[in-house]
Structure 1
Amino acid sequence: MPDVFVAGLDGQTRKKSIDILNANLAEGIALTLAVKQAHWNLKGRGFIGVHELLDDVAARLRDGTDLLAERAVILGGFARGTQEVVADTAKMEPYPVEISDIKEHIEALKERFLYVGEAVRKGIDAASEAGDEDTADILTEVSRAIDKDAWFIGANAPA
């Protein structure tokens, strides 16, 4: 591993945390791209509000993935966030590219936010079990943002 910029974590713990961070980085990038896909293609009643919301959501997701990537590097690893790595490692269901109905986009996004939110929570538990509470804390911060944005998006679903 390259230079290490933290004290108190052994190599095995750092490697485990780096793996957890990179797995969640891939999911976060995939989710960001799904949000942008919806942003570009949705149509229907309430379009402008959801369109603008999704830009804000994508920005928050990018902030979260930035935290994950930087933590991986701080721990002495590499951030693995290229399109090739994301395509190979993200387990999130692929986003449909030929829908435009706002309700369909909201449902598709809601499903993916729930999936990624669950993956992040598993990462929190795994980082804690490995003894890296700082990584668990970063994942918790990301989890809170995902939950809030899932709520924002889901609140747009018709009754």
Structure 2
Amino acid sequence: MAVELKGLSDNARKTSISELNGRLADSIALVLAVKQAHWNVKGRNFIAVHELFDTIHDNLRGHIDVMAERVQQLDGVAIGTVQKVAGASGVAEYPTDMTKAEDHIKALCERYRDHGEKLRSAIDATDEAGDADTADIFTAASRSVDKDLWFMESHLE
């Protein structure tokens, strides 16, 4: 039996499900890119960068669950299989031949900037559609991505 959320139009629900699944695919692709970097990073400040990647990975994972659960609340289907994510994500493919910490940080920063932009677009789309709760979910994710981007960029100074 579906949860009936009063006060949400069908358009708001459909818009939110679409935006949530899009950002879910990007978040899953990004979390895997962070793990690729985490597993393969080497160089100066290794332990600090290795632990930073653990932290930003955990931050992303928390938002992934919130987004997927919101899709369910809206009576949608959260799409998160590897095959579907690979086809739906707009995150640039992550290189598998890097080891230098600075290279990994730069590559992740590029992807985080793009992800933050898409999250901000999703905030606007879901808010305009009338789903402030989903917009809040995207706002929290955006704030977290921006903070993690700042942490990573600070390593490049």
Task: Report if TM-score (shorter chain) is over 0.5.
Answer: yes
Alpha-carbon separation, structure 1, partners of 2:46 and 2:4: 45
Unaligned runs of 5+ in 1: none
Percent sequence identity over aligned pairs: 49
Q: Name the structure 1 match of 2:128.
A: 129
Where in structure 2 are the equivalents of 1:9-158 lying within 5 Å?
9-157=8-156
Q: Is the 8 A contact 2:9 2:130 kept in 1?
A: no
RMSD: 1.0
Taking the aligned partners of 1:11 and 1:129, their CA distance within structure 2 comes to 13
- Structure 1, residues 64-123: CA drift from partner, whole Å, max 9, x if none? 111111111101101111111110000111000110011100100000000000010000
Residue correspondences, number: 157
The TM-score, its normalising length taken from structure 2, stands at: 0.97
**Alignment partners' CA distance in 2, 1:117 and 1:15:** 22
Q: Per-residue displacement from partner, 1:30-88 (whole Å, max 9, x unpaired)?
A: 11111110000011000101101111110110001111111111011011111111100
* AA matched with 2:23: N
Instruction: State the secondary structure of the residue aligned to 2:94.
Output: coil
Shift of 1:12: 2.1
CA distance in 2, matches of 1:115, 1:48: 26
CA distance in 2 between counterparts of 1:7 and 1:153 reads: 41
Q: Quick one: distance in 1 between partners of 2:61 and 2:131?
A: 23
Question: How far has the Cα of 1:5 moved from its partner?
Answer: 4.2
TM-score by length of 1: 0.96
